[in-house]
């Protein structure tokens, strides 16, 4: 068995395959999953206060993917600390909390509240949130706002800070460099694309929220490209996300310059997806005579 361990953004992980935010709940709702293969888990996105999320229907199947508009439903930070973190503290893999806010200071408040809580190993900042103080523009679309959020979190914690980039930008490298300068330890690329699906009987959108985030194999080539672009732009590690369902998909991101990967939607279809991706990557490395993942050749020319 090749050495699959990776060091990514301040954490040493036993393997490169992570569970993506929102597709794995708080890790307590997925009994079928083989946890042995998990490098780490990222929790469902959480705000300071509890949120009910959007009205159903919240999920629509699309060709090779799905649209979701959950609206970041969650119990709030206090409940997460009380109900979930104590369980995470006993698990053999780290759990990062996906944090969300309506202002940069709210992100900072979240970080200081969760910093030092046993079971919380680090933060993944979701910058795909509307900036309420600046007219609802997404933090992730504006390098200054993205950097301000990163800085607000960085100043309030010594835990690893990862920033999850949105694909809905014209140049992901600009945002990647801005959050790297603000102190991010790693980047996660990418979150979902905004999409829409129309019900021809209702003559209107299938999702009650009108639009949703597109995920699954449909987005994979777009995601590989954007993760690669982000990796070229920075010197911190990039964690590739988007449409990974099998080992070869994950390997594409790794060869394209990513240090680790996250599996999301695939778990909905196949609860063993994380384990199969992990084991398949190990088998690929062994078959090609590599004794560790670190020996995998990368395609990462610098701009």
Ligand X SMILES: Cc1cc2nc3c(=O)[nH]c(=O)nc-3n(C[C@H](O)[C@H](O)[C@H](O)COP(=O)(O)O)c2cc1C
Q: Hey, which residues between 3 and 42 contact ligand X (CB under 6 A)?
A: 20-23
Q: Is 206 an interacting residue with respect to ligand X (CB under 6 A)?
A: no
Q: Are 274 and 38 in contact (CB under 8 A)?
A: yes
The span from the CA of 266 to the CA of 268, in Å, is: 5
Q: Is 129 one of the annotated active-site residues of the chain? A: yes
Tell which one of 8, 38, 44, 109 touches ligand X (CB under 6 A): 44
The single residue of 37, 125, 129, 218 carrying the catalytic annotation is: 129
Q: Which is nearer to ligand X, 2 or 18 (CB)?
A: 18
Q: Which is nearer to ligand X, 24 or 284 (CB)?
A: 24
Q: Which of 109, 108, 178 is nearest to 142 (CA)?
A: 178
**String of contacts with ligand X for each residue 253-292, x by CB under 6 A:** ----------xxxx--------------------------
Strand order across the 193-196 sheet: 59-62, 65-68, 211-215, 193-196
* Helical pair 220-233 and 247-255, crossing angle rounded to 10 deg: 30
- Judged by DSSP in three states, 41 sits in strand
The span from the CA of 303 to the CA of 19, in Å, is: 31
Q: Are 61 and 197 in contact (CB under 8 A)?
A: no
Number of residues that bind ligand X (CB under 6 A): 26
Q: Which is nearer to ligand X, 4 or 277 (CB)?
A: 277
Quote the least distance from Cβ 227 to ligand X, whole Å.
11
Q: Are 260 and 239 in contact (CB under 8 A)?
A: yes
**String of contacts with ligand X for each residue 229-248, x by CB under 6 A:** ------------xxxx----
The residues annotated as belonging to the active site are: 129
Q: In the complex, which residues of this chain contact ligand X (CB under 6 A)?
A: 20-23, 44-45, 68, 70, 72, 98, 126, 164, 191-192, 213, 215-216, 219, 241-244, 263-266
């Amino acid at each position: 068995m090749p050495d699959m361990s990776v060091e990514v953004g301040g954490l040493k992980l036993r393997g490169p395959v992570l569970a993506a935010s929102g597709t794995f709940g708080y890790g307590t709702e997925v009994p079928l999953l083989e946890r042995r293969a998990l490098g780490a888990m990222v929790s469902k996105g959480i705000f300071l206060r509890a949120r009910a999320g959007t009205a159903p229907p919240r999920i629509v199947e699309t060709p090779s993917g799905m649209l979701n508009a959950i609206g970041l439903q969650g119990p709030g930070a206090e409940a997460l600390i009380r109900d979930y973190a104590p369980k995470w503290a006993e698990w053999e893999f780290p759990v990062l909390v996906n944090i969300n806010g309506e202002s940069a200071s709210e992100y900072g408040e979240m970080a200081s509240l969760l910093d030092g809580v046993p079971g919380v190993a680090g933060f993944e900042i979701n910058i795909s949130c509307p900036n309420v103080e600046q007219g609802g523009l997404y933090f992730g679309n504006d390098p200054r706002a993205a950097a301000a959020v990163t800085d607000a979190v960085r100043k309030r914690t010594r835990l690893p800070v990862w920033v999850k980039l949105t694909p809905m930008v014209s140049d992901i490298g600009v945002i990647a460099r801005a959050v790297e300068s603000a102190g991010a330890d790693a980047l996660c690329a990418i979150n979902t694309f905004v999409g829409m699906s129309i019900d021809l009987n209702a003559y209107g959108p299938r999702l009650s929220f009108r639009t949703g985030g597109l995920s699954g194999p449909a987005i994979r080539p777009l995601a590989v490209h954007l993760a690669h672009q982000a990796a070229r732009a920075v010197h911190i590690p990039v964690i590739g996300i988007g449409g990974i369902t099998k080992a070869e998909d994950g390997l594409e991101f790794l060869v394209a310059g990513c240090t680790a990967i996250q599996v999301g939607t695939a778990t909905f279809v196949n609860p063993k997806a994380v384990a199969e991706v992990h084991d398949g990557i190990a088998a690929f490395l062994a078959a090609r005579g590599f004794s560790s993942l670190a020996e995998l050749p990368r395609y990462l020319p610098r701009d």
